[in-house]
Amino acid sequence: MIEKFDMRKIFPRFILNDREGYAVAKALDAGMGAYIEACAEAAAIWGDVDKMPEWRLDEMAWEYNCAYNYFADVEEKREWIRNAREINRSEGTANAIADYLSAYFTRVEVQEGAENDLAPFHFRVVIDGEQSEETNAIVQKAAARLKNARSVMDSISYRSVESRAEGLYSLTALEGIEIQVISKTIA
């Protein structure tokens, strides 16, 4: 509990007995009370990401030096700040890419290594969602920021469920990354 500021603890008695001195002390008392109240409010939300204003989320992203999109929705920003330490700790791994992209997509899988028929140090990203230039850019930026230096992203696959189409569509991205869209028919 925060104690109320009391000017009598700071100012000597001769100042408080003087009319002008007392007025200055009361003004400082009111100012310090407001300052202490503002600090208490800030401390209450400091660790609560769900209550933070958007500007504070942006500041924390800078402070944490984490993978972050300043133009994303507020809820996505909250998710990144909530997971910033874990993402930073796992930077250079497939988990970091998956954790970052999970704020955008409902399901993200980063497949790597020989068990997925990939060359050593190669990986692909599989996402449940719709393929677009924007989502391609998000995935490519996340992979470039979070992968280790020796790894190579081979492809981005989008799993989407559509009512009328079925098949595998393959597109070529600007950087030579294969982009696949896998659609399933719902009965």
> pLDDT by residue (tens digit) across 103-154?
888 889 999 887 778 888 899 999 988 888 888 888 998 899 889 888 899 8
**Rounded Cα gap, residues 159 and 128, in angstroms:** 5
Helix (H, G, I), strand (E, B) or coil at 12: coil
Mean pLDDT of 36-64: 85
Number of residues that this document lists for the chain:
187
Closest CA to 156 of 167, 164, 172, 165: 172
pTM, whole model, 2 decimals? 0.58
Summary mean pLDDT of the chain = 80
